[in-house]
Amino acid sequence: MTPTDPELARKLARSQRRWVVSLAVTALLMLAAAAWGYYRYYPDQVGPAQPISFSHHVHATNKQLSCVMCHTGVADTPRAGIPPVETCMLCHTQVIITHPEIRKLRDHFEHGQPVQWVRVNDLPEICFFNHQVHVNRGIDCSRCHGDVKTMDRVTLAHKFQMGFCIQCHRDYNVSHDCLTCHR
Amino acid sequence: MPDITRRTFLQLAAGGSVALAVGVGTKDYTHLVAPTHFSQDNRPEVPNTYVTTCRECPAGCGMHVTHANGRVIKCEGNPQWPINAGALCPRGQSALQRLYDPQRLTQVRRYTQPEGPAKAETLGWAKAMAEIGLVLKSVKGRVTVISGLETGALAEVMQAFLAAFNSDRLVFHEAFNYQPLREAHQQLFGQPVVPHYRLEECECVISFGADFLESWLSPVEFGRAYGRMRSLGSGPTGWVTYVGPRLSQTASCADEFILTRSGEDLCVAVALLRSLLRQKLTKNDIALLAPSLESACEKLPMPEGLDQKRIDELARTFATAKASVALAGPVAASGRCSRHTAMAAGLLNYACGRIGQTVDFAHPHAISRTASRENFQSVLTRIISSDVLVIANCNPVYTWPSCRHELRRADKIIYLGCDANETSEIADWVLPVDSPLEAWGDYEPYEDFNALVQPTMSRLHDTWLTGDALLALAQAADKPLPLRKTNKPAGNFHDWLRNRWDELGHKAGADAEQFWQDSLRAGGLVAPTGSSTPPVKLVATSLDFRISAEPTTAPASAPVDGPELWLYANSLLHDGRVANRGWIQEIPDPISQIVWGNWIDIHPQRARQLGVRDFDVLELQGPGGQLELPVRLTSQVHPDCVAVMLGQGHTAVGMTTARRGANGFALLMGGRPEGGFGRVAVRKMGQRSQWIATAPTQEQFGRKLLQWDELGAVQSRKEPEEIRLPLPEGYDAKRDLYPKRNYKLHRWAMVVDLNKCIGCGACVAACYAENNIAVMGAVNCADGREMAWLKVVPYRRDEPVAQPPSAVAADDSGRVGRASSASPTTGAPGAGLSESGRALRPASRPTLQELPRVEFPPGAVAAASSGHAPLPRVGFLPLPCQQCDAAPCEPVCPVFAAVHNEEGLNAQVYNRCIGTRYCSNNCPYKVRRFNWFDASWQPPLDWQLNPDVSVRCRGVMEKCTFCIQRIHRVERQAKLEGRAVRDGEVAPACVQTCPAGVYTFGDLLDPNSAVSKLTRNDVRRYQVLGDLNTKPAVTYLRKVIIPPPTGDKA
């Protein structure tokens, strides 16, 4: 039934409008808050979904684990290395054993099935990069990989194009020899 | 060009985008896969090394197998192993191509109709074992095992296996069994063995057709000794005389090459013996044999051009040298004459007291355990239709073609092997076994030299160890083989091996586990037990040396003047077991530079008689069969001889090798010939067939690429010749067009001592392995598109005047080459390239017929200044990129893909290269290679690729980098350890593997480095084409011509 009194109708319409406006404003505010929160916590956006939802943020920031705890090869081999599942199991046989993602992990471990992580940082085949040399020189991981500590799902901080490498080599006044990286 | 409409363009663009989006031709790099468990051995991109022993020939060299990302990528020599001390021949280095052979046996198969179209059935190991077990249980005849040479645990298992079936028919079959040598030693000393020849300290080596630098017994060991013999400066220079009918690689490395008929080497040997007796130079008394020697000398003709004076000199040199040795070959001979030559050589060693000094009978070679031709033949003859044959890791149907039918007489043939080959084709069961790089085992090349074979990567296919298969077969036949120690059935072959090594450890008085671990780390154990064997005594009382001119076993069709056959093996193919490997086929034969096939070497004189030219196909009819091959006219064989290389002509060894050349063993069947190999009938077939050579000529056309020095000149020269150093100090503003180059930390450079190079091709194989060089195949090689970054090219010494072909054809009797000493182009060494020299350089690759030929007459002696006319010698020139300081390749590159790096290398930046090929056109050394195609490695051959080096794509130029990845590895390590790079620490692949120590590599900026000292001070130094002012960083040391020693004490 439509109100016949025009005054009442106006009143109703106004209150409806106010309701809608306040709803919209609240939604906008919430969105803004969510966006602020998102960019506050994920300044580099979110990376691809991984087969096991591992969070670097939780491990490196909350639990204060060092990068080399898992990426053991970084200081003495060309590759930083993806840790074997056994590394995860060092802790996760003791803590958070029943979480569904940890169960998945344990399944991999017990069945000898490697986890196929989605590659985020990629270097073309024509380039030969050596972590050992850079890390021993004191270059922080974040220089190339961004602030991984803040990332839940790791994302690409810098595109690894030649300019990126050369800029740094210029800054540090180190080799510009082509054969350093290409051979 | 057709008009492209808008529609077509859009279609193409859309298609291209889709292709790009789905990633055509790219690998999946989107995932990172980490193992589930820790592994010390398998860290990404960290090479690991496993110590094992090479089983590609019976020499028994130690190997370090490099392993990256779980895959074997390279085989190098084990620096600790006394036989090869870090060096490895091309065959050994290609061991991983057997492991990754795409045509390898991978499944257990049963063939129902081995003759005719075989019907194969694939079955699992368990089922096959059960079935064969049943056969073995009910076997009525004998069980026979025919195997490649094995010692140690596997030999024990084989013996035990046969004993379980009341049989003793174990035959170790090797194509090269050195039977004449063993028979000679039996006859002379009552010891039918091949002794350990120690060439290290020798000052004089006389080889009677023994190609000890390429295929004879232990080439890497002897190559090392040769290198040491050739290092000038310390002690006297060694002297090598080669007597034989063909200029082999060893002959070209000798100081004196006496070209003989294939029986006349015996004459030289006997003449030497008589000369020793007459000059009273013998240390051990052989006077008893004097009458037979005198009478033999009466009967035997002396080779043309050799006089008694030279024989006396040589005998004196041999007898008065501190150490010397006489060797007798050739590898595949079985003839009576070869035995007589071996006896004469043995007597030479005995008479001069070399037994116990350089000839060590206390540690005989394992090859002494192989079956003689008669033994093998008798086993073949006794095969009856109820017998069961087990053939393991050998290919008798190829090396002894007539045995095919005799083997097939057996009821069942069980073949255990790695590769499909002619023998596996006739088997009822084919059981795939591990390649030596996947296997446990041991090998004892010389007595008391115990070497271990250990797996270097996990199995690629469903294969078993040979030993395990035999143990399982015995088990399946209800006759389990007991271990000696426990007398309980052996679980597996590894237990058996451990048992044997525990015993060895016990003998050495060591803790078993510690001994095992130490042996694994060292690659084995060498513990000579001293000379417990009684001294070698001469037991022969009379000798009957003769060569028979009349063939007795030649077929009736053979004309009396049919040439002598000479079969030889080169440093690559050996007896043909390694034939199905790209590297082995594509690395050129050291002397002829022919790839992908074999050919007949024939002297132009005989060719004229037969009316054949190069590439004409000849048929050779031997005692047991015939073959057809194209001929190569060369004066490097005796006119009375045709030479054929062994190892080709496989009919069943995979795609790489199928229908390449012809099998020389086919000529060898039948009884034992009188001479080395007997005579053959020759017939011209009328058709022509091209052999493919990567270097069309050995002439230098006055370019002085490979230079020689007389020993006297070397010793009297005080100052080295002027060269232009590839350093800032080599810059001269008046002469140089390009600006001075300065180097920061290093200037890498190389010195190549040509006096040591034996041309074996080990460096080339190492280069292929290290740098992912593609194998292009026969067709592309014929087009000159081979990709080798490093070539070892044979060049002749005497540089002839280039003549038009007609003039040469008119006079090909050997005068052309000898006239050259007076030729105007032969100026003082290093005098520079004359205008005429420049004009002589062919504009494009000339065809063979256009090239002038140089020949030398038979019977002549190639001693340099002994009064004989000097003959054109052949030397080997290893030619990598010269890494020039003023590199002609660099300024012409429009995109700066060819650039100079901070350490002096001419870098080639593949990702910049657009393939103009200007750099290659402008390179005077022609060491740049263009990728005409996208190279492909048929899986699993792609697993051999070195992850440290790019795989180049089509349209890109590539070249030697001095193994930049190896340089970087050392530099990085030094940096991390906070020190400077040590001299000698950096070794490119070629330097690492060279048996003779030809290469010296290092930093030219460091005045104390070995390379610096040699480059700056060595009086033999020169630069190839140095007068072009390219300032190459590779400095060569001239080959040295030693005047024949007279043997008189100075």
A153 within some domain: yes
Residue A78 shares a structural domain with residue A23: no
Q: Is B304 helix (H, G, I), strand (E, B) or coil?
A: coil
The reported pLDDT for the residue numbered B861 is: 38
Best mutation target among B38, B42, B45, B962 (most A Cβ atoms within 10 Å) is: B45
A138 within some domain: yes
The reported pLDDT for the residue numbered B804 is: 36
Nearest CA-CA partner of B599 in B558, B541, B642, B553: B642
Give the whole-angstrom CA distance, residue B315 versus residue B293.
Answer: 15
The reported pLDDT for the residue numbered B839 is: 32
Residue A36 shares a structural domain with residue A76: no
Residue numbers of the domain that contains A26? 1-41
Q: Tell me how close the Cα of B35 comes to any Cα of chain A, in angstroms.
A: 5
User: Are B32 and A116 within 8 A, CB to CB?
Assistant: yes
Instruction: For residue B903, list chain A residues with Cβ-Cβ distance below 8 A.
Output: 177
The reported pLDDT for the residue numbered B953 is: 92
Q: B564-693 in CATH: which number?
A: 2.40.40.20
Domain positions in chain B: 109-172+369-444+449-526, 179-349, 564-693, 801-851
Amino acid identity at B790: L
Band (pLDDT 50/70/90 cuts) for residue B629 is very high
Asked whether the beta carbons of B796 and B821 are under 8 A apart, the reply is: no
Instruction: Please give the backbone phi and psi of residue B7, each rounded to the nearest 5 degrees, phi first.
Output: -65, -50
Of B37, B905, B950, the CB nearest to A126: B950
Q: What is the pLDDT of residues B163-201, one digit of tens each?
A: 999 999 999 999 998 999 999 999 999 999 999 999 988
The reported pLDDT for the residue numbered B820 is: 30
Kindly tell me the burial class for residue A77, based on how many C-beta atoms sit within 10 Å of its own C-beta (0-12, 13-18, 19 or more).
middle
Please give the average per-residue pLDDT across B580-587, as a whole number: 93
Strands B748-753 and B999-1003, bridge-based pairing: antiparallel
Q: What is the pLDDT of residues B927-984, one digit of tens each?
A: 999 999 998 899 899 999 999 999 999 999 999 999 999 999 999 999 989 999 999 9
Tell me the residue length of chain A. 183
Residue A77 shares a structural domain with residue A8: no
Give the whole-angstrom CA distance, residue A67 versus residue B623.
Answer: 75
Asked whether the beta carbons of B630 and B616 are under 8 A apart, the reply is: yes
Look at residue B507 and tell me whether its pLDDT is greater than 80. yes
Higher pLDDT, B317 or A47: B317
Look at residue B821 and tell me whether its pLDDT is greater than 50. no
Best mutation target among A71, A126, A129, A179 (most B Cβ atoms within 10 Å) is: A179
Residue A138 shares a structural domain with residue A78: yes
Average pLDDT, chain B: 85
A175 within some domain: yes
Kindly tell me the burial class for residue A107, based on how many C-beta atoms sit within 10 Å of its own C-beta (0-12, 13-18, 19 or more).
exposed
Q: B735: phi > 0 → left, psi -120 to 50 → alpha, else beta; which?
A: alpha
The reported pLDDT for the residue numbered B327 is: 95
Strands B626-633 and B791-796, bridge-based pairing: unpaired
Please give the average per-residue pLDDT across B100-120, as a whole number: 82
Please give the average per-residue pLDDT across B708-732, as a whole number: 90
Amino acid identity at B370: T
Q: Which of B440-454, B555-569, B1012-1026 has the lowest mean pLDDT?
A: B555-569
B133's enclosing H/E stretch is helix B125-137
Instruction: For residue B964, list chain A residues with Cβ-Cβ distance below 8 A.
Output: 179, 183
Give me the sign of the Cα torsion angle B299, B302, B308, B312.
negative
Nearest C-alpha in A relative to B907 = A179
B323-337 in b/e form (b: 16+ CB < 10 A) is: bbbbbbbbbbbbbbb
Q: B109-172+369-444+449-526 in CATH: which number?
A: 3.40.50.740
Average pLDDT, chain A: 89
Q: Tell me how close the Cα of B27 comes to any Cα of chain A, in angstroms.
A: 10
Please give the average per-residue pLDDT across B90-106, as a whole number: 94
A100 within some domain: no
A60 within some domain: no
Give the whole-angstrom CA distance, residue B230 versus residue B226.
Answer: 6
Look at residue B224 and tell me whether its pLDDT is greater than 90. yes
Q: What is the pLDDT of residues B122-158, one digit of tens each?
A: 989 999 999 999 999 998 889 999 999 999 999 999 9
Number of domains into which chain A is organized: 2
Residue A140 shares a structural domain with residue A176: yes
Nearest CA-CA partner of B178 in B373, B393, B450, B403: B373
Please give the average per-residue pLDDT across B749-772, as a whole number: 95
Q: Give B917's contacts (C-beta < 8 A, 6+ positions apart).
A: B930, B957
Q: Which of B6-15, B525-534, B800-809, B998-1007 has the lowest mean pLDDT?
A: B800-809
Higher pLDDT, B1 or B391: B391
Best mutation target among B33, B36, B745 (most A Cβ atoms within 10 Å) is: B36
The reported pLDDT for the residue numbered B818 is: 28
Instruction: For residue A77, list chain B residues with Cβ-Cβ distance below 8 A.
Output: 43-46
B443: Cα separation from own chain's centroid: 20
Give the whole-angstrom CA distance, residue A75 versus residue A69.
Answer: 11
The reported pLDDT for the residue numbered B1049 is: 61
Q: Which two tokens stand for residue B437?
A: 């790089």
Q: Give A149's contacts (C-beta < 8 A, 6+ positions apart).
A: A56, A57, A60, A61, A142
Q: What is the pLDDT of residues B861-905, one digit of tens each?
A: 333 333 333 355 789 999 999 999 999 999 999 999 999 999 999
Q: Which of B180-194, B475-489, B815-829 has the lowest mean pLDDT?
A: B815-829
Please give the average per-residue pLDDT across B1035-1040, as a whole number: 94
Return contacts of B797-800, CB within 8 angstroms, 24+ apart: B797/B706, B797/B708, B797/B870, B797/B872, B797/B873, B797/B874, B797/B875, B798/B826, B798/B854, B798/B870, B798/B871, B798/B872, B798/B873, B799/B699, B799/B700, B799/B701, B799/B702, B799/B704, B799/B823, B799/B825, B799/B826, B800/B699, B800/B852, B800/B854
A95 within some domain: no
Q: Tell me how close the Cα of B345 comes to any Cα of chain A, in angstroms.
A: 52
Give the whole-angstrom CA distance, residue A28 versus residue A23.
Answer: 9
Residue A71 shares a structural domain with residue A136: yes
Band (pLDDT 50/70/90 cuts) for residue B1048 is confident
Residue A71 shares a structural domain with residue A29: no
A166 within some domain: yes
Please give the average per-residue pLDDT across B706-718, as a whole number: 89
A94 within some domain: no
B602's enclosing H/E stretch is strand B600-602
B964's enclosing H/E stretch is helix B964-976
Q: What is the pLDDT of residues A60-85, one digit of tens each?
A: 999 999 999 999 889 888 888 889 99
The reported pLDDT for the residue numbered B992 is: 96
Q: Which of B206-220, B294-308, B784-798 has the lowest mean pLDDT?
A: B294-308
Crossing angle of helices B264-278/B290-299, nearest 10°? 140
DSSP 8-state code for residue B1047: -
ipTM, two decimals: 0.81
* Domain B179-349, CATH number (from 3.90.1010.10, 1.10.1660.10, 3.40.228.10, 2.60.40.1220): 3.40.228.10
Band (pLDDT 50/70/90 cuts) for residue B334 is confident
Look at residue B478 and tell me whether its pLDDT is greater than 70. yes
Q: Taking CB atoms and an 8 Å cut-off, how many pairs form between chains A and B?
A: 103
Q: What is the pLDDT of residues B737-754, one digit of tens each?
A: 888 999 988 999 999 999
Whole-model pTM?
0.88
